[in-house]
Chains A and B, each alone.
Chain A
């Protein structure tokens, strides 16, 4: 096994090791940080991000970008919040969320495939639009007075572990298995990895790009539902700017914006790291205002190292290839 393949393999492990390291170091300074209670809490506070990164990973794998997720989250939270407030069934809320997410995802896919707009602009536009739709829907008001039993939902524990966390973890594992083991699931990675290769093997590229946006939309609106249940109210700027944090989490977890590289698990770990830094600072008695500086610096450093490694590997490969052509026998 060459060194290069090891580096690639380590992408998720590296993220994981970093996360462990974070806990160990912080735990060394303040042992409370390692308590099960805190780990459970860290996980809980990163649930929304984890769900979002799962959807985002699908889109990123195909080599696209979805920045409409913040808007989808807000709209879905507002709609689900109203349904629940007005005494609606939780299953109705889930259905509504899935419907909203799928619809927004379809519009994104339509713009990309049929109108040939770049994913960045298309989802940026939809972000603006969904925000307004949310305002129109809620008439600019907050959705409050959500029944206590909804908030209780996010607090149910099974064997001492939060039920919602269990569902999300199962979801992540399911998505991971689908992407890496299912023969169709591998199409997403394949498309981002080498579009020409994917076409030549008869993979329906456009359809799977549309699917990725639908999945991302559904994940975002489910995250909206979690938002309602965890926070208990929906403001008009729920989830503003969250898309950038989610992209940062994915990149931190080893997902490439160029497509073809990354795993859902890695992205989820990235999400946990970003939210854990926050609580770690509290435990280390470092003022919380260091949070963004650390996250930003971390992101830049990791990405630059990755890029340099990849560049050098490419250069080396090209060199080897060129020199293979040179006549070996010396006259």
Chain B
């Protein structure tokens, strides 16, 4: 058998951001007609690796070879020239242009030529895209097809698909897989980043699992089972970063009334969600990015509407309340995207902390009270500032997050929903936030913790509900909580208690 032509060879790639190591010597090879699935949790380094390959980031060490040639100074343009094209999760199209214009823009050669090539390609792929349609009217699947054509028009031999199916419907996914099959047969090499294990077996020839910036498992797909992949995704044993253990309680809430009771709610991005949270309990909402957890939280908080079902907070129906009323009822929410929804970047730490509690004060600002409250929380949560007047923008991510937590606490809630509270935060601040959570729990606050960090959610939660593709069918009690079960539940393959690993 003739050896297949090598398209990409990555050797010992290293990369870190601000002393935070993301990739620790990753080696990969992609040959013609291969589809390599790359799996890994959040922060495993998948997208960083692909961004290095497409020239967006510069690696700190290691060798990149494209078509057998060393590629040292890669930039996005050079990567295109060498035939590497990334189809991003959110396609970067021009929404107000037609399909044709989207395809032909950015080429130096004649438009007609490009158009003819596109028509030929679309025909070859057997797709049905009207060149005259406006890009904004395309479905996400079609937009991705467009990005793929863009890549192929640039004679790309390597396509990188970043979680392409996360926003696709079932039939759209099937269509995409057919395309991947065609491309594979045509000799194109594909990196396929995904969270969905079923898909890995359906389309890939090889699989690579990344964890904490290292390849933990790689090889031909035929050699693996789902169980083996899940094992590969799990943190290595005896590799605990956090020495402290969390005091957790087994749930025994019979006769108690739940603080938060979510009863069969349906909304955009989720359906038939039911769970409850009791006093002094940390309940984890596990799942993959895009599973619908943030949508559920935002619907409970009153940002997005709930179509049916009920939410009760301490016995009070809060289903249809506005954000303001929800907050008054005793619910606080720490949003997922801190920069977009969490902080007021260009104002002081004090103003950030007091922005929610001040609704309870009268018409005028009470500066003394504000200073006092800000002081109290800066002390209590150990927020590192020079003064309360510091612009929050100038703080580190961890301290910003603490200020957001302070704001949530300032309205004295019964329950706090924390959506990815440790995202983009360094290890020390992470530890601080864990101890804040523990402290709050001991003080009788209830916490609903949404996290994609397996270790985090597994170690802190008293109970875990797993959300899988907008549904929530699995509840893990304390004695069922372990990495394997959480992982299985997140990938939708949990079928009952698996306590063998404990």
Query: B61 at interface (Cβ–Cβ under 8 A)?
Result: no
B78-99 to A contact mask, C-beta < 8 Å, 1/0: 0010000000000011111100
Please state if B269 and A325 are interface contacts (CB–CB under 8 Å).
yes
A182 to B469, CA, bound (A): 44
Given contacts A183-B107, A186-B105, A260-B94, contact A324 B133 (CB under 8 A): no
A203 to B108, CA, bound (A): 11
Query: B136 at interface (Cβ–Cβ under 8 A)?
Result: yes
A198 to B133, CA, bound (A): 20
Q: Which of B77, B94, B290 has the most CB of A within 10 A?
A: B94
Please state if A328 and B169 are interface contacts (CB–CB under 8 Å).
yes
Please state if A193 and B271 are interface contacts (CB–CB under 8 Å).
no
Please state if A260 and B140 are interface contacts (CB–CB under 8 Å).
no
Give, as a whole number of angstroms, the nearest-CB distance from A130 to chain B.
32
- CB neighbours (8 Å) of A196 from chain B are 92
- CB neighbours (8 Å) of B468 from chain A are 327
Out of B101, B130, B167, B471, which one reaches A327, CB within 8 Å? B471
How big is the A interface, by class?
35 or more
The chain A residue with its CB closest to the CB of B271 is A326
Give, as a whole number of angstroms, the nearest-CB distance from B171 to chain A.
9
- CB neighbours (8 Å) of A305 from chain B are none
Query: A4 at interface (Cβ–Cβ under 8 A)?
Result: yes
The chain B residue with its CB closest to the CB of A318 is B268
Please state if A1 and B130 are interface contacts (CB–CB under 8 Å).
yes
**Would you list which residues of chain B between 107 and 142 have a CB under 8 Å from chain A?**
107-108, 111, 130, 133-134, 136-137, 139-140
Query: A8 at interface (Cβ–Cβ under 8 A)?
Result: yes
Please state if B76 and A323 are interface contacts (CB–CB under 8 Å).
no
Give, as a whole number of angstroms, the nearest-CB distance from A306 to chain B.
13
Give, as a whole number of angstroms, the nearest-CB distance from A316 to chain B.
11
Out of B93, B137, B291, which one reaches A197, CB within 8 Å? B93
Query: B292 at interface (Cβ–Cβ under 8 A)?
Result: yes
Query: B170 at interface (Cβ–Cβ under 8 A)?
Result: yes
Given contacts A186-B105, A197-B93, contact A4 B111 (CB under 8 A): no
Chain B interface residues toward A at CB < 8 A: 76-77, 80, 92-97, 101, 104-108, 111, 130, 133-134, 136-137, 139-140, 166-170, 172, 268-271, 290-292, 295, 468-471, 473, 492
Query: A5 at interface (Cβ–Cβ under 8 A)?
Result: yes
Chain A interface residues toward B at CB < 8 A: 1-2, 4-5, 8-9, 181, 183, 186-187, 189-190, 193-194, 196-198, 200-203, 260-261, 313, 317-328, 331
Out of A2, A187, A189, A326, which one reaches B292, CB within 8 Å? A326
Given contacts A183-B104, A203-B106, A325-B469, contact A194 B92 (CB under 8 A): yes
A193 to B316, CA, bound (A): 46
- CB neighbours (8 Å) of B170 from chain A are 328
Q: Which 10 A-B pairs have the closest CB atoms?
A: A326-B470, A322-B269, A201-B106, A327-B469, A197-B92, A193-B94, A322-B268, A5-B137, A5-B134, A324-B169
Please state if A202 and B94 are interface contacts (CB–CB under 8 Å).
no
Q: Which of B106, B166, B170, B295 has the most CB of A within 10 A?
A: B106
> Once A and B bind, how many residue pairs between them come within 8 Å at the CB atom?
100
A75 to B269, CA, bound (A): 58
A260 to B94, CA, bound (A): 8
Given contacts A326-B471, A331-B473, contact A4 B137 (CB under 8 A): yes
Given contacts A193-B97, A324-B169, A326-B292, contact A183 B105 (CB under 8 A): yes
- CB neighbours (8 Å) of A326 from chain B are 269-271, 292, 469-471
Give, as a whole number of angstroms, the nearest-CB distance from B75 to chain A.
10
Give, as a whole number of angstroms, the nearest-CB distance from B115 to chain A.
11
Please state if A1 and B133 are interface contacts (CB–CB under 8 Å).
yes
Please state if A202 and B96 are interface contacts (CB–CB under 8 Å).
no
18 A-B pairs, CB-CB below 8 angstroms? A1-B133, A4-B134, A5-B133, A5-B137, A8-B136, A181-B111, A183-B111, A186-B101, A187-B105, A193-B95, A193-B97, A198-B94, A200-B76, A202-B80, A322-B295, A324-B172, A325-B469, A327-B469
Out of A198, A319, A324, which one reaches B168, CB within 8 Å? A324
Out of B77, B97, B101, B290, which one reaches A325, CB within 8 Å? B290
Q: Which of A183, A190, A313, A317 has the most CB of B within 10 A?
A: A183
Please state if A200 and B92 are interface contacts (CB–CB under 8 Å).
yes
Please state if A193 and B106 are interface contacts (CB–CB under 8 Å).
no
- CB neighbours (8 Å) of B268 from chain A are 318-319, 322-323
The chain B residue with its CB closest to the CB of A261 is B96
Please state if A190 and B134 are interface contacts (CB–CB under 8 Å).
no
- CB neighbours (8 Å) of A320 from chain B are 139
A5 to B169, CA, bound (A): 22
A12 to B265, CA, bound (A): 44
Given contacts A186-B105, A200-B92, contact A325 B291 (CB under 8 A): yes
